[in-house]
Amino acid sequence: MTSDLLSDLAAQIPELLLKTEAADLEFYGRDWTRRWKPAPLAIALPSSVEQVQAIVRWAKAQAVSIVPSGGRTGLSGGAVAAQGELVLSLERMNRVLGFDAHDRILTVQAGMTLEAVHGAAREHGLIYPVDFAARGSCSIGGNIATNAGGIRVIRYGNTRNWIAGLRVVSGDGELLELNRGLVKNSSGYDFRQLMIGSEGTLGIVVEAQLWLTDPPPESNVMLLALPSFESLMQVFGHLRARLSLSAFEFLTDVALKHVVAHGAQAPFADTYPYYVVTEFDAESPSQQEAALGAFEVLLEQGLVCDGVIAQSDAQAAALWRLREGITESLARHLPYKNDIAVRIGAMPAFLAEAQVLLTQAYPHFEVVWFGHIGDGNLHINVLKPTTMDNADFVHECSRVTELLAKLLHQHGGSISAEHGIGLVKKPYLASTRSETEIGMMRAIRQALDPAGTLNPGKLFDRDNTATQGETP
Ligand code: 2HG
Ligand code: ZN
């Protein structure tokens, strides 16, 4: 059956690169969640939009499901192929297609890495400002599919703000040209924005027009040690009022311990419960002085215990590593990840309750808090004890996530800030979106992909009885 299907696909699109080796199925069938056993039908690696369209048409006719695939650095199972799906990898479609200096628009294929996009923008003296640690391997198409956020959101917002246009292949294999780089376009529903964050369930992004912007002024990085969780938001408010911040990230002593064990350099002789990595404009001596002054006031007020301002680019990179190296340093502990958001104003009240909840719920597990506190996004990673079976661990964490989801609901927050819903957070979607909204999402999905070819089982199920993909 499988080989008949694949022979047919190869016959229909003779120039298509297909991979079926066991190692390839394993490699392309998973993302960074490592929870599901990869079991794709095969991997298709198209080299053109026409090939993508032909694959989708073929898949629809044969009732084969497609999992669109970028760099698979996702943390919610959105790119997992564990049910005999055809993985459609965009990795060979990774070129710059053009740059328009008037519009400051860079047009790229979806398989380009974020880092390559950054490089291409720099060649024109501009930047593409969305940035985060997985930049070297994640793809711009995947960033669009999850509306990726990252470390510069407090200044630049999410991926959504930078997408001028998209070319998308629909579930029928049609090529949609969405928004075409227009700044103003008040002509009805904005399908470009609908595609952003739809996790490959409404269409396959094949090309993107990205708005670029001016490089920021010279900046500097400061690491602060804090005595308490409560001081975090006060320090943020204080610094935001005095400096021009481009990042405000936090981590706990537990996160620091892991990242240092993984090779980063410990910043202070002593340890403290909380740390902040913040980046601020430091072009002029007065901006540098303002940073120093703000730090001294915080020290006097007891809101920070210690701090260091980078004296070189190498030192700035070393401070950033303390924050950006966390995910990699935790990977071997098979963490259960939470990626939650609340309004900044709701943060103090939410944090107080969430801390109590998680301390009670996880007395025996190591819990690692870090994230983009400046935009209300926390990453809470629960580490699997080495002796515990993974399925039992996930089961236990899922139980606690239900409580966390309830708390988020009470505080008007979201169960996914930037990683997406995928398979991991599918059972909790209703804590963030109303039944009416989920019903509308189903209707939209039905309209754009009536045969259910694109990434089925991700985000939500077509009907609310199925639970495909939930079992670890
Ligand atoms: C980050 O902010 C990423 O570093 C990953 O969103 C977060 O590993 C995580 O939970
Ligand atoms: Zn993050």
* Bridge partner list, 436: none
Q: Count Cα neighbours of 53 within 13 Å in the Cβ-side half-sphere.
A: 11
Which ligand 1 atom is at minimum distance from the Cα of 418? 6
Helix then strand then coil, % of the chain, to nearest 5: 40, 20, 40
Give residue-wise pLDDT tens across range 71-121.
Answer: 999 999 999 999 999 999 999 999 999 999 999 999 999 999 999 999 999
Look-up of token digits 């926390």: 378
* Rounded Cα gap, residues 26 and 6, in angstroms: 18
Task: Give the residue among 343, 464, 363, 472 at the shortest CA–CA distance from 408.
Answer: 343
Give residue-wise pLDDT tens across range 199-232.
Answer: 999 999 999 999 999 999 999 999 999 999 889 9
Low-confidence ranges of the chain (pLDDT < 70): 1, 464-472
Q: How far is CA 304 from CA 149, 212, 301, 361, in A?
A: 27, 36, 8, 29
By the 10 Å C-beta count (0-12 exposed, 13-18 middle, 19+ buried), 447 is classed as exposed
Which ligand 1 atom is at minimum distance from the Cα of 371? 2
Residue 297's contacts (CB-CB under 8 Å, 6 or more residues apart) are 238
CA of 327 to the centre of ligand 1 (A): 6
Sign of CA dihedral 389, 390, 393, 395: negative
Task: Give the residue among 205, 186, 198 at the shortest CA–CA distance from 70.
Answer: 205
* Rounded Cα gap, residues 212 and 417, in angstroms: 24
Which ligand 1 atom is at minimum distance from the Cα of 379? 10
Q: Count Cα neighbours of 78 within 13 Å in the Cβ-side half-sphere.
A: 29
Q: Which ligand is nearest to the CA of 135?
A: 1
Q: What is the pLDDT of residue 463?
A: 77
By the 10 Å C-beta count (0-12 exposed, 13-18 middle, 19+ buried), 284 is classed as exposed
Q: What are phi and psi of 255, to 5 degrees?
A: -65, -45
Task: Give the residue among 47, 214, 94, 72 at the shortest CA–CA distance from 143.
Answer: 72
Q: What is the dihedral of CA 165, 170, 174, 180, to 10 degrees?
A: -10
Task: Give the residue among 403, 406, 405, 385 at the shortest CA–CA distance from 394.
Answer: 385
Q: Count Cα neighbours of 299 within 13 Å in the Cβ-side half-sphere.
A: 11
The pTM of the full predicted model, rounded to 2 decimals, is 0.96
Mutate to test the pocket of ligand 1, among 327, 330, 375 (most ligand atoms within 8 A of CB): 327
Q: What residue ranges define each of the domains in the chain, with the CATH number in brackets?
A: 2-89 (3.30.43.10), 96-211 (3.30.465.10), 219-327 (3.30.70.2190), 334-419 (3.30.70.2740)
Checking phi first, is residue 197 left (phi over 0); if not, alpha (psi -120 to 50) or beta? left
CA-nearest residue for atom 9, ligand 1, is 327
| CB-defined site of ligand 1, < 6 Å | 75, 132-133, 327, 337, 339, 371, 379, 381
Which ligand 1 atom is at minimum distance from the Cα of 372? 2
Q: What is the pLDDT of residue 229?
A: 87
* Rounded Cα gap, residues 275 and 305, in angstroms: 10
Q: What is the pLDDT of residue 1?
A: 64
454 DSSP assignment:
B
Mutate to test the pocket of ligand 1, among 339, 369, 375, 380 (most ligand atoms within 8 A of CB): 339
* Rounded Cα gap, residues 198 and 189, in angstroms: 15
Q: What is the largest CA-CA distance in the chain?
A: 73
